[in-house]
Chain A
Amino acid sequence: GNSVTQMEGPVTLSEEAFLTINCTYTATGYPSLFWYVQYPGEGLQLLLKATKADDKGSNKGFEATYRKETTSFHLEKGSVQVSDSAVYFCALRGDSNYQLIWGAGTKLIIKP
């Protein structure tokens, strides 16, 4: 079945550091891939998405590229800020599935 694997957290970085949060998936067909962000005490917000191979999703300085050959959708940002501290979830949705398949989430802590 479909599955998503994220790197375990917490990930602790200094402000202005480069960020990578790894996400790999297992799926049949051509899934859509998503990154969501959850700030403390809040619900989840869509950060970016990609719907086909080689698509790059981007938002708020974050980027992720849909790599079918490596079944990956790694999240990157060139220079993180304290305000980026949050939990980041990678998710997958298949063409014929009502559900999103979620990674376990990665907590990101940015220190000034």
Chain B
Amino acid sequence: SQTIHQWPATLVQPVGSPLSLECTVEGTSNPNLYWYRQAAGRGLQLLFYSVGIGQISSEVPQNLSASRPQDRQFILSSKKLLLSDSGFYLCAWTRGLAGYNEQFFGPGTRLTVL
């Protein structure tokens, strides 16, 4: 069976510090991978998605970046965090391009920038 891991579960960082959130998927190969942010009481905002190693598509301009160094690893980074980066970050994967394939979500990372 497939599982998706995210770490850390919670993170408190000062403004201006760097960020690295990691997501890994087990039990499948060549997944499509996604990073979402969910602000408190709000819906989901798609940040990045990747259809293969080294392939990253960005949905919104921001000070965050993403990388996919391995097939089942997806990393979200920032060089300097802003207060507005606080939120709940969710990683997700899906099997392929077929429209009926649902996304499977990780447990999330709650980031607080002070």
By a beta-carbon cutoff of 8 Å, the part of chain A in contact with chain B is 30-32, 34, 36, 41-46, 49, 51, 89, 93-100, 102-105, 107
Contact = CB atoms under 8 A, between A and B. Distances in A.
A43 B99 contact: no
Contacts of B102: 34, 46, 49
Contacts of A102: 43-44, 46
A107 B46 CA distance: 20
Contacts, number: 57
Given A43-B105, A43-B108, A105-B43, A93 B99 contact: yes
Given A89-B44, A98-B32, A102-B44, A42 B99 contact: no
Interface string B84-114: 0000001010000111111111111010000
Contacts of B34: 99
Nearest to A34: B102
Contact of A31 (B97, B99, B104, B106): B99
